Amino acid sequence: MRSIIVLVGLVTFSAGADELCSQVSEAAINVMEARQGGVSRTAMRRIAELQEPLERDVMLELIVAAYESEVHLSAEARRQEVAEFGDASYQQCLESRTPE
């Protein structure tokens, strides 16, 4: 997932870091929900390919990262996986946007 953050960090957005990272987190949550719901990687890639170039690249990286995780059987474990993936994406995004 590091390359997602590199992509986000390289682009200058008019939106603030918090707003941008919230969007990345929301995308991550959607991707992981699809993963945990049994949506195929191929179907997710097709959806990503319809996006604008930057969004597409971020989505593709999120898909790669999400599909490295296993699908959980219990609803609670699925919810936890989704939440953790969204939180981790948000945190990594914020870290990439913070000047050193």
- Each domain of the chain, given as residue ranges in start order, spans 2-6+16-97
Residue 33: per-residue pLDDT: 95
Residue 11: per-residue pLDDT: 45
> Does pTM surpass 0.75?
yes
To the nearest whole percent, how much of the chain has pLDDT over 90?
63
Which is it for the CA torsion 2, 28, 64, 17, positive or negative?
negative
- The CA-based angle 82-85-88, given to 5 degrees, is 145
pLDDT digits (tens, 9 = 90+) for 35-66: 999 999 999 999 999 988 888 998 999 999 99
